[in-house]
Amino acid sequence: MRIESYFLLVLLFAFLLFSCKQEEIAEKQLSPEAQLAKIQHRIDSLQNFISSRPILKAATVEPNFGLFQTLQSVGLDIKQSLKIANTLADTVELGVLRAGQVFWVGFDPKDTSRAVLFRYAENFANLHFLMRDSTDEWVYKIVEKPVSIRYAMYDGVLQEGGSLYNSLKDIGIPQNMVGVVAGVLECKVSFRTDARVGDKFKILLKETRFQDTIWISGSVLYASYNGSRVKHSEAFLYQEADPKSSYNAHYTEDGEALIHSGLRYPLDRLHITSGYGSRIHPITGSRAFHSGVDYRGAVGTPVYAVAEGVVVQSSFSNDNGNFIAIKHSDNSQSWYLHLSQRGVGNGQRVKGRQVIGKVGNTGRSSGPHLHFAIKQPNGSWMNPLLKKMIATPKLEGAKLSALKEQVKIIKDILDKTEAAEPRSISDSLQATVKWVDY
Ligand SMILES: [Zn+2]
């Protein structure tokens, strides 16, 4: 059996399993006739799909290639490449492509210039498919394989001569999580000045693995630090149903954000469609510098000032469309481009979190989005994602109640892991890990 046939079989199984699971609930409300028709339709479309037996080609990412160039490298025309890239962007956060990363494209054997299938493996457990249906529309499917979840509690003591990163690695924090954990701790503790040898910390991670060994994802549910110069402090992860909510962050039990000062986010919901820095234009292929971050947002979505300041520009230009620039107390400026409406004028004083305009599609813009940028006092742009940002300094009302509920659940997991058998990381270190599998 050729590898393509294997792949096709796996795909069909996954497709069947997934569509059954998804439609089970909806079908209960349908009449028997409608249910039959639906099942018949599914069989028909599946038979179409099997009979077409797409010819699969591996599209490998070359250095500095985007998805668009990668698709073209296996013979897709501009129109189909754009269609696939755009359909995917609606649902999947592709991020930065790695050289050597492979996508699979399936071509119609009767017309080998026509793509009918696209597959992107985000990791071993999450596979994304685009399939062209009988009406020539691209349909998106995600296949999620079962994963195992482990709650692991890492106990550590800051060692002589070790950096925070090394200390975290030494106590067994998985490589992929070291940076994230350090980021949470650094919000509370200035490691350069306040950390002392012998300080203790606890980290509770939620780890997701495929087949028990392959790392899929992780999050920091809880962190605490107890030091000679830093008072005992704790942080709990707060998450809203919307995974892109700008409120998803770490807070104290009382709802205080870990980062007290700093900028807030310009939108309530954050979905980055284009990052900061040098990029290749999808159509012209030319390299250009992107001075900010593009956040997706529907036209009319409120845009907030990220901090207190004075509006230094509120105007229109052919490139920026409607745009606003605000100067802050540290002489940096925040810029908001392509707005549909501007709500503040030149010279106006604004507060942090004040609505200053609405998301739009004005100027040189290929769809509704907010281009958000930070200009440093010296006049050069910087990556806005490198400025520490918060949605709010304190959760209140319904959000605070939701946090309290989540804290309860996290404390329950803490108790369970605490009761688990401690496993020593190494003989020489005062570090243990305890875990419970779910
Ligand atoms: Zn932009």
Mean pLDDT for the stretch of residues 143-168: 85
SS3 193: coil
Give the whole-angstrom CA distance, residue 275 versus residue 385. 9
Q: What is the pLDDT of residue 272?
A: 85
Confidence at 97, pLDDT banded by 50, 70, 90? confident
Which tokens belong to 199? 């300080």
| Higher per-residue pLDDT: 258 or 305 | 305
Q: How far is the CA of 210 from the centre of ligand 1 (A)?
A: 36
Q: How far is the CA of 368 from the centre of ligand 1 (A)?
A: 11
Q: How many helices (H) and strands (E) does the chain have?
A: 7, 27
Mean pLDDT for the stretch of residues 178-200: 81
Q: How far is the CA of 292 from the centre of ligand 1 (A)?
A: 6
Domains, the chain, in order of start with CATH, read 3-144 (3.10.450.350), 148-258+395-437 (3.10.450.350), 272-387 (2.70.70.10)
pLDDT tens column, 268-322:
998 888 888 876 665 566 777 889 999 999 999 999 999 999 999 999 999 999 9
Q: How far is the CA of 50 from the centre of ligand 1 (A)?
A: 42
Give the whole-angstrom CA distance, residue 23 versus residue 76. 33
Give the whole-angstrom CA distance, residue 430 versus residue 191. 20
What's the chain's average pLDDT?
84
Q: How far is the CA of 362 from the centre of ligand 1 (A)?
A: 12
Q: How far is the CA of 123 from the centre of ligand 1 (A)?
A: 28
Q: How far is the CA of 238 from the centre of ligand 1 (A)?
A: 29
Q: What is the pLDDT of residue 333?
A: 95
Q: Distance of CA 261 to CAs 44, 188, 332, 387, Å?
A: 59, 12, 15, 11
Say which residues have a Cβ less than 8 Å from residue 301's Cβ, sequence separation at least 6: 267, 268, 269, 358, 359, 370
pLDDT tens column, 35-64:
777 766 666 665 565 566 888 999 998 877
Q: What is the pLDDT of residue 50?
A: 55
Q: What is the pLDDT of residue 379?
A: 93
Q: What is the pLDDT of residue 29?
A: 61
pLDDT tens column, 110-139:
888 999 999 998 888 888 999 988 788 888
Confidence at 436, pLDDT banded by 50, 70, 90? confident
Q: How far is the CA of 373 from the centre of ligand 1 (A)?
A: 8
Say which residues have a Cβ less than 8 Å from residue 143's Cβ, sequence separation at least 6: 14, 15, 18, 126, 127, 128, 129
Contact 432, 288 (CB under 8 A): no
With b for 16 or more beta-carbon neighbours within 10 A and e for fewer, the 149-178 pattern comes to: ebbbbbbbbbbeeeebeebbebbbbbeebb
Q: How far is the CA of 356 from the centre of ligand 1 (A)?
A: 18
pLDDT at 19 over 60: no
pLDDT tens column, 383-420:
888 877 788 889 999 999 999 999 999 999 999 999 99
Q: How far is the CA of 272 from the centre of ligand 1 (A)?
A: 10
Contact 120, 128 (CB under 8 A): yes
Give the whole-angstrom CA distance, residue 326 versus residue 357. 12
Confidence at 109, pLDDT banded by 50, 70, 90? confident
Confidence at 1, pLDDT banded by 50, 70, 90? very low
pLDDT tens column, 334-347:
999 999 999 999 99
Q: How far is the CA of 341 from the centre of ligand 1 (A)?
A: 17
Q: What is the pLDDT of residue 27?
A: 43
Q: How far is the CA of 273 from the centre of ligand 1 (A)?
A: 9
pLDDT at 93 over 80: no
Q: What is the pLDDT of residue 47?
A: 59
pTM for the predicted model, two decimal places: 0.72
325 closest CA partner among 341, 344, 340 = 344
Contact 103, 116 (CB under 8 A): no
Q: How far is the CA of 162 from the centre of ligand 1 (A)?
A: 40
